[in-house]
Structure 1
Amino acid sequence: MVKHLRRFRGDGFTLVELLVVVAIIAILIALLLPAVQAARESSRKSDCANNLKNLALAALSFESSRGYFAPAAQDRDGEPPTGVKPALATHNGITFLLPHFDQGNKLQQIDLSWDWDDAARSKNELATKQDLGGILICPSSPVVQIARHATDYCAANRVDPAGPRSLAPLVTTRLVDGKNGLPELDRGWDNVLQFDFLDTVPPLATDRRRTDCSEITDGLSNTSLYMESVAKPFMFGWYQRTADPAPLFYNGEENRSINSRFRWASPETWMTINNYCHGSQIINCNNVSQPYGFHPGGILVSFADGHVEFAREEIDPNAFVAWITMSGGETAP
């Protein structure tokens, strides 16, 4: 008996159907990916804001217990004789805040009578070149900073309205209020976090001012404390590494003997608002001691009442300056 073979049509996809399905999946992924990335950035931004909030609350806790704010940093010119304690040891203000955000054990390892990087008479160099558990690192930064003992958050001690590198052109064009010709060194340009400086080289000069909440006449919610200046020791923006006589990098390799000024405990990790780009933009021009971040379109700023705000790149320069000054008399932005 002859058996007739029956031909059956398979249940699989044809090539055209398969290509259509692949195309649909690709479109769905393309639509979903930005949403996933946005969600991740939102989470990173939230973590960064929480870091800054904790830093601001630590600053307020210090002020409450001591009666004055810790400085942005304390530094000096001149060295004492060998073995003699300096009249003012060099430290970043963040060091003084350590016990106020659960880092008191780190402060106990630091002898505040000696400089932050002293290795001869104390263990300061070892103690200040330690990871603080990421509390000073913004998760949105593309550069891993923990191993470099850096901070993505800095204090801005004042606004510089005059001089060769300053906001003078913005004052001239009235994009920044000149406060009726208020002198450059007037306290009206100061932030609450001061630069505590002592010059022991004749002619002697000092600025040992201590400020408290009562001096913030512009309002606690209108006066900044710490803000983003991220990703150091790497430099972003217009900064030219090759122009430095002691460059931070040699043939792409980091020169860690030079980058110390960017560590969280360094007395040079602070900034003065004295730079702008693109006509009047103060934020995200460069991160060499200037406001700079990696969140799309702006940076996070903490304030003297403990809240944190997102400052967009296009913020009015006068509004941003008003945030920095604590008694400038500006109208709240």
Structure 2
Amino acid sequence: MRCSRIEGQHRRHGFTLIELLVVISIIGVLIALLLPAVQAAREAARGLQCKNNLKQIALAAHNYHDINNCFPAARASSSPQYGHMVTLMPFLEQGVLANAFNVSLSGGFADPGNQTVSTTKLSVLLCPSNPVQNTIRLRKSSSTGKSYGAYITDANGNFMMGWVCDYWVNHAISASTIALLSPGGTAPDPILKGTAPNMAMVTDGLSNTTLFLEHAGYDKHYVKGVGWPMPETDLTLDQPGAWGAWLGWCAFMVQGYSNSPPPTNASTPAGTACAINCNNSQGVFGFHPGGANVAMGDGSVRMLSTSMTVANLMAIVSRNGGEIISE
């Protein structure tokens, strides 16, 4: 009897296989429920940072206007080449960087003498939701497809590099898209058209006109959220060398797209079915699930929804179209 009691006291207890499987299943369900919430919280934080970036850039443009009685031109200088972000640096608390950029060098944004500035990463110009955050090799050509032009190198054959920018301005509005929406119509002007664009020219109202827009993903070509490397045979994306670097001409011609744009190796004609996050060739494009963020002419920031119509997009990116924008 004593031995029997001792054996009973040392009997081991544990999970059965079924109990273990049930526990694992419950943990799996909890993880499946928790991950989307965590991802949503992270994207919400990234979205807020993106909007804050745009707010800072818009305020810089307003401060520039206060001093110069105009906004910076979309293409600040064509000879040597450099873009509007160069002129905004002192107003983004980057005066030291602005002073380091030598505007007299013939190579402009891609000159070897400006590589220190060109390869400086500026978080305020990068959306944290963008998976493509890197430097790019620079080219001078602004042509598309096989006419990209050779990469720029220094005397030792080293590639000229530059950090990308996710927040652009529109220097033009697609006449092809306007013609599809209104046959015979002419494209209105974007907010920064001209050498000294000012607030008085925005007859549509500053709160109704975009100033800075997400145009992200360089130097990959993104169509409906899917990205490809950009081979020389890709005729669909303006090469990013002269346009994608923050020192360069970060300005694009806004257009609408069809719902089935070709991925690569084909042209991307204008369309009227898709307005936001369709194509980062000439489209308003961000990596937020609900749309893309923009800064308006009055300095406010908003998200343009993926459900926005092309007609409304064309209206909101123009300063003097006289359109009625239906929300």
Q: 1:111 aligns with which of 102, 113, 116?
A: 102
> Structure 1's 264 and 118: CA in aligned 2 closer, same or farther, altered over 3 A?
closer
Answer whether contact 2:212 2:294 (CA < 8 A) is retained: yes
State how far apart, in whole Å, the 2-side matches of 1:18 and 1:73 are: 65
1:103-142 equivalences under 5 Å are 103-115=94-106, 116-117=108-109, 119=111, 123=113, 125-142=114-131
Q: TM-score, normalised by structure 1?
A: 0.76
Q: 1:156 aligns with which of 163, 170, 174?
A: 170
Alignment correspondent of 1:63:
65
Deviation at 1:21, TM superposition (A): 1.1
Alignment correspondent of 2:241:
259
Alignment correspondent of 1:277:
258
1:170-189 equivalences under 5 Å are 170-172=181-183, 181-184=184-187, 189=188
Deviation at 1:70, TM superposition (A): 0.1
> Structure 1's 261 and 211: CA in aligned 2 closer, same or farther, altered over 3 A?
closer
Give the secondary structure class of the aligned counterpart of 2:85: helix
> Structure 1's 132 and 66: CA in aligned 2 closer, same or farther, altered over 3 A?
farther
Alignment correspondent of 2:146:
none
State how far apart, in whole Å, the 1-side matches of 2:318 and 2:197 are: 13
Give the secondary structure class of the aligned counterpart of 1:47: helix
Answer whether contact 1:167 1:276 (CA < 8 A) is retained: no
Partner deviation per Cα, 1:66-109 (whole Å, 9 max, x = no partner): 00010111354xxxxxxxxxxx4321111100011111111101
Deviation at 1:237, TM superposition (A): 2.1
State how far apart, in whole Å, the 1-side matches of 2:16 and 2:234 are: 64
Alignment correspondent of 1:94:
85
> Structure 1's 29 and 161: CA in aligned 2 closer, same or farther, altered over 3 A?
same
Alignment correspondent of 1:243:
233
Structure 1 position 217 matched with structure 2 position 192: no
State how far apart, in whole Å, the 2-side matches of 1:315 and 1:215 are: 25
State how far apart, in whole Å, the 1-side matches of 2:175 and 2:36 are: 41
Q: TM-score, normalised by structure 2?
A: 0.77
State how far apart, in whole Å, the 2-side matches of 1:33 and 1:44 are: 16
Deviation at 1:59, TM superposition (A): 0.8
Q: Which runs of 5+ in 2 are unaligned?
A: 137-161, 260-271
Answer whether contact 1:134 1:146 (CA < 8 A) is retained: no
Q: Which runs of 5+ in 1 are unaligned?
A: 77-87, 173-180, 195-207, 250-257
> How large is the Cα RMSD of the aligned pairs?
2.7
State how far apart, in whole Å, the 2-side matches of 1:191 and 1:15 are: 68
State how far apart, in whole Å, the 2-side matches of 1:327 and 1:64 are: 22
Deviation at 1:169, TM superposition (A): 1.9
* Percent of matched pairs sharing the same residue: 31
Give the secondary structure class of the aligned counterpart of 1:310: strand
Alignment correspondent of 1:168:
179
State how far apart, in whole Å, the 2-side matches of 1:41 and 1:288 are: 24
Q: 1:305 aligns with which of 298, 302, 326?
A: 298
Deviation at 1:242, TM superposition (A): 4.2
Query: Aligned partner of 2:122: which letter?
Result: G
* Stretch moving more, 274-283 or 289-298: 274-283
Partner deviation per Cα, 1:208-259 (whole Å, 9 max, x = no partner): 54221122121111111111111211221298634259x999xxxxxxxx83
Answer whether contact 1:140 1:295 (CA < 8 A) is retained: yes
State how far apart, in whole Å, the 1-side matches of 2:172 and 2:52 are: 24
How many residue pairs match? The answer is 281
Partner deviation per Cα, 1:34-59 (whole Å, 9 max, x = no partner): 00000001111111111111111111
State how far apart, in whole Å, the 2-side matches of 1:145 and 1:110 are: 20
Give the secondary structure class of the aligned counterpart of 1:135: helix
Alignment correspondent of 2:307:
314
